[in-house]
Amino acid sequence: MASNRENFGSRTTAVLAMAGSAIGLGNIWRFPYMVGQNGGAAFIIVYLLCAVMLCIPIFIAESIIGKRTQQSTFSAMDKLAPGTSWKWIGLLTVFTPLIILSYYSVVGGWSIEYLIKSLTFSFTDPAVSRDAHSAIFGSFITSTWKPLILHTLFMAINAVVVIAGVRKGIEKFTKITTPVLFLLVVLIMIYSLTLPGAGAGIEYMVKPDFSKLTGAAMLSAMGQSFFSLSLGVGCILTYASYLKKNENLMATGLYTSVFDVLFAIIAGFAIMPAVFAAGIEPGAGPGLIFETLPFIFSTMGASAPMISNIVAIIFFVTILFAALTSSVSMLETGVAWLVDEKKMSRAKATMILFGGCWALGVLCSLSYGPLADFHIFGATIFDLCDHMTSDFLMTFGSLLFVLFVGWKMKKADVKDEFTNGGSLKGNTRIFNVVYFFIRFIAPVVIVVIFATNLLEKLHLL
């Protein structure tokens, strides 16, 4: 069965698909905002350290499991550790991306709405205040039907791509969209950096303030780096199961991580200078994209309405593409599980998961409107899905993957997969270092950061 499995056509397309999964809403709104909140360049340094010390080893660990077995999460763990409980981790990591997909799709729907707004030249009136933009956004997300229809549309695009398959769907889609994403974000950055008053935004990104590097800030940096690289949820494992057997895992891991980090930093330099040029304090999350930036586009429009509206179109296309290339990988992780494990057809598996994620997404969407007062553990359904996955499940999943490869799998097997049976000389030379990071550094750092944050929360530090 494994031999009939589809695969990515080349290293380039595989890296573009993986980078497409990695580059998403996390890079565009979470990263720039977190940089400012957590000590500017100091946060970027910790983020980069996490990328090198944790993300690359976790990425490689997940890839080793996927490429070795050519199976998706559940069956892969079962194949490598038959008769043990490890396969349940596989199942856990199938559900995490599906939960993420449910709320991610709601935000994807919002980005469709704002793309339509920019295409109909809604951001050209400088008289509309920042508060008025917030009110427009507020009344949109709290309404019942429109966000639901757009959430459905966003999910449907995902389903179409995933049903088409790995080669004809995912590969074809990300081969075009990922390079376009880079081009667009660089264009926005150039525009943004040339605005008068952009300097304060640059300072925001590069000035280190180490006093803000608390345990919580480090946990944020770690969580953000895992979220950004789609780690701990089986996405990378599943995509790696579509790699050719002779692929070099060090190379795919390195390229994907570099593209992802680069994109986040470019996005920061694309957004923050514009925010400061408009004299605004950067806000958090969705507010930044859907309230502050439309206001900036409109005010810039005072002198050149067309240009700023074109920038708005480019910006919302970028957001939509970035969200789609990530969400497709979330859906694929679940679909691959049903296809591999339950021997279901791709179309049927996609439709079943489409239904489940759509339904949970409906609840997430309504949690801004009619269900706003419905709280579980003090959070709305949307926030619960977000925090449960990005604060906890992704980190937990990442920890379990490195423990599995570092402690459960045989060292000889790990080496065999990483070096392609010894044929990759470079990988053979660095194997012991990578293995040491997977076995010791990654698990210890994850646990220490987690514990520091916990102790801080309990006021014991």
d(CA 330, CA 98): 6
- CA gap 412, 414 in Å, rounded: 5
Candidates 35-43, 187-195, 223-231, 300-308: pick the segment binding ligand PFF (CB under 6 A): 223-231
For the segment 94-133, give every residue that binds ligand PFF (CB under 6 A).
Answer: 97, 100
Identify which of residues 188 and 261 has a Cβ nearer to ligand PFF in the complex. 261
Q: Could you say whether residue 228 binds ligand PFF (CB under 6 A)?
A: yes
Structure tokens at 209: 């303030």
Question: 326, 355, 351: which is closest to 339 by C-alpha?
Answer: 351
φ/ψ of 7, rounded to 5, equals: -145, 165
Min separation Cβ 176 and ligand PFF, Å: 19
For residues 205 and 190, what is the distance between their CA atoms, to the nearest angstrom? Answer: 16
Please identify which residue in the block is written with the tokens 């990328």.
Answer: 51
Nearer to ligand PFF, 72 or 326 (CB): 326
- CB within 8 A of 236, min separation 6: which ones? 18, 21, 59, 62, 63, 66, 229, 230
Based on CB atoms, which residue is closest to ligand PFF, 18 or 434?
Answer: 18
Site string for ligand PFF, 312-351 (x = CB under 6 A): --------------x--xx---------------------
**Gap between the Cα atoms of 172 and 325, Å rounded:** 11
**Of residues 332 and 417, the one with the C-beta less far from ligand PFF:** 332
Return the structure tokens found at 174: 């990300």
Contact 431, 47 (CB under 8 A): no
Please give the Cα distance from 101 to 92 (Å, whole number): 15
Specify the DSSP class assigned to residue 59: H
- C-beta closer to ligand PFF: residue 15 or 278: 15
User: Which is closer to ligand PFF, CB of 391 or CB of 456?
Assistant: 391
**Cα separation of 265 and 350, whole Å?**
34
Cβ-based nearer residue to ligand PFF, 100 or 400:
100
Q: Nearest approach, Cβ of 223 to ligand PFF (angstroms)?
A: 11
Pick the closer one to ligand PFF by CB: 228 or 367.
Answer: 228
Q: Which residue from 15, 19, 185, 235 is in contact with ligand PFF, where contact means CB under 6 A?
A: 235
Give percent helix, percent strand, percent coil of the chain, each to the nearest 5: 80, 0, 20
Q: Using the minimum distance from each CB to ligand PFF, give the nearer residue, 40 or 223.
A: 223
Rule CB under 6 A: choose which of 173, 227, 242, 431 binds ligand PFF.
227
**Cβ 22 to ligand PFF shortest distance, Å:** 5
Provide the CA 286 distance to its chain's centre, in angstroms: 15
Nearer to ligand PFF, 148 or 328 (CB): 328
CB of 29 to ligand PFF, least distance (A): 9
Q: Is 385 in the site for ligand PFF (CB under 6 A)?
A: no
Q: Name the segment binding ligand PFF (CB under 6 A); options: 36-44, 184-192, 227-235, 237-245.
A: 227-235
Q: Which residues pair with 376 in a beta bridge?
A: 379
**Three-class DSSP category at 210:** helix
Cα distances (Å, whole numbers) of residue 283 to 188, 275, 358: 19, 9, 29
Q: How far is the CB of 415 from ligand PFF (least distance, A)?
A: 28
Question: Does residue 178 touch ligand PFF according to CB under 6 A?
Answer: no
Residues in the interface with ligand PFF (CB under 6 A) total: 16
In the structure encoding, which two tokens stand for residue 95, read together?
């559900």
Q: Does 380 bind ligand PFF (CB under 6 A)?
A: no
Applying the rule CB under 6 A, the residues between 12 and 71 that interact with ligand PFF are 21-22, 24-27
DSSP state of 195: S
Least distance CB 218 / ligand PFF (angstroms)? 19
Q: What is the 3-state secondary structure (H, E, C) of 78-115?
A: HHHCCCCCHHHHHHHHHHHHHHHHHHHHHHHHHHHHHH
From 233, 250, 261, 449, residue interacting with ligand PFF (rule: CB under 6 A) = 233
Q: Which residues bind ligand PFF (CB under 6 A)?
A: 21-22, 24-27, 97, 100, 227-228, 230, 233, 235, 326, 329-330
